[in-house]
Amino acid sequence: MSHTAVAAPTRGTTQGSGVNFMRILKSEWIKLITVPSTVIMLSITVIVMIGLAALFAWQTTVLLDLQGDPEMAAQMQGAPDATSITNTIPGSGLIFGQLLIGSLGVVLIASEWGTGMIRSTMVAVPKRIPALLAKQAVFAVVAFVVGAGSALVSYLIAQPILTPSELEFGLGDEGVLMHIINTGSVLALMAIIAMSIGTLLRNTAGGVVTTIGLLLILPILVATLLAGIADWVPDAARFLPSSAGEQMVAITIADGALNQWQGALVLGAWALVLLVASLLVTKKRDV
């Protein structure tokens, strides 16, 4: 009967050491790349970010050509000089990239609750926190590579578009390399924020709405409706995740604004607080 086949245990092949963090990382990597929609979503993020940067580069040259004098056009847009526009072209897809990565971060964890997969995850790693940390780490690294990679490709694509207008720039120009790297850093931190929200809410729709509300709606509300309420509101708006992220990829820092490192500290604090909250809540609650 079939049970005699079952009864032949393969202790030799399966006995070995137990759970460790490297193994959980590997497991989470397998989980990430074996759901087709995740891979598709990541590819779309890369394509959208590169596409937006190319469009932005082309639009810049068109604008400058129309107005004849590059110097003049730059002044009309209120920017100090042309390079401060062109040099941030590599990361110009970030605004959409962070919404896509944010949504995906929520989906990756909330879908585990939605489908029941979380029970398999937590039975395999019953201490729970290492499982969540591994998932966060894998996705944060992927988000970084997507962001920095897209920005680097965008930089390369933008040069031939900008060259006819003599707007081309180099990786060695001031702030350019940091801008490209930080496009990845912002996405990585946004990924952690979104996945933590997904972990706390355990619900895909609720998590995506909350994340988009935090990244997109809240800054608009603060800038328009709430700004008149008190003097400190616009001041506090600098500490929203989206504003802090913008400063991380800025090349020219306006007076009174956060610089790149301060932006990184603020966004990092958002990520850390939400991450710790999500870990503590998951450790305590029933799965």
Partner 1 sequence: MIEAQGLAKRYGSKTAVDNVSFTVHPGKVTGFLGPNGAGKSTTMRMIVGLDNPSSGNVTVNGRRYAEHRAPLREVGALLDAKAVHTKRSAYNHLRAMAATHGIPNSRVKEVIEMTGLGPVAKKRVGGFSLGMGQRLGIAAALLGDPHTVILDEPVNGLDPEGVQWVRHLAKGLAAEGRTVFLSSHLMSEMALTADHLIVIGRGRIIADAPIEQIISDQGQARTRVRTDNPSELIRALAGDGVTSKQLEPEMLEITGADSHRIARTALDNRVLVYELTPLQASLEEAYMQLTNDSVEYHSADLPQATQAAGVGEGN
Residues that bind partner 1 (CB under 8 A): 1-7, 9-11, 13-19, 23-24, 26-28, 30-31, 34-37, 111-112, 115-120, 122-127, 284, 286-287
CB of 39 to partner 1, least distance (A): 11
CB 73 within 8 A of CB 176: no
CB nearer to partner 1: pick between 195 and 258: 195
CB of 123 to partner 1, least distance (A): 5
CB of 256 to partner 1, least distance (A): 47
CB atoms within 10 A of CB 132: 24
CB nearer to partner 1: pick between 137 and 177: 137
CB nearer to partner 1: pick between 80 and 285: 285
CB nearer to partner 1: pick between 117 and 223: 117
CB nearer to partner 1: pick between 141 and 272: 141
CB nearer to partner 1: pick between 8 and 66: 8
Could you tell me which of 132, 97, 172, 122 has the C-alpha nearest to residue 274?
Answer: 132
CA 118 to chain centre: 23
Collect all residues with Cβ–Cβ distance below 8 Å to 58 and sequence separation of at least 6.
161
CB nearer to partner 1: pick between 119 and 221: 119
Helix, strand, coil shares of the chain, percent, nearest 5, are 80, 0, 20
CB of 84 to partner 1, least distance (A): 44
CB of 17 to partner 1, least distance (A): 7
Could you tell me which of 102, 113, 104 has the C-alpha nearest to residue 32?
Answer: 104
Written in H, E and C, the secondary structure of 16-81 is: CCCCCHHHHHHHHHHHHHCCHHHHHHHHHHHHHHHHHHHHHHHHHHHHHHHCCCHHHHHHHCCCCC
Q: State the Cα–Cα distance between residues 111 and 32, nearest whole angstrom.
A: 12
The rounded radius of gyration (Å) of the Cα atoms in the chain is 23
CB 282 within 8 A of CB 128: yes
CB of 25 to partner 1, least distance (A): 9
CB 182 within 8 A of CB 215: no
CB nearer to partner 1: pick between 32 and 212: 32
**Secondary structure class of 239 (helix, strand, coil):** coil
CB of 127 to partner 1, least distance (A): 6
CB of 251 to partner 1, least distance (A): 41
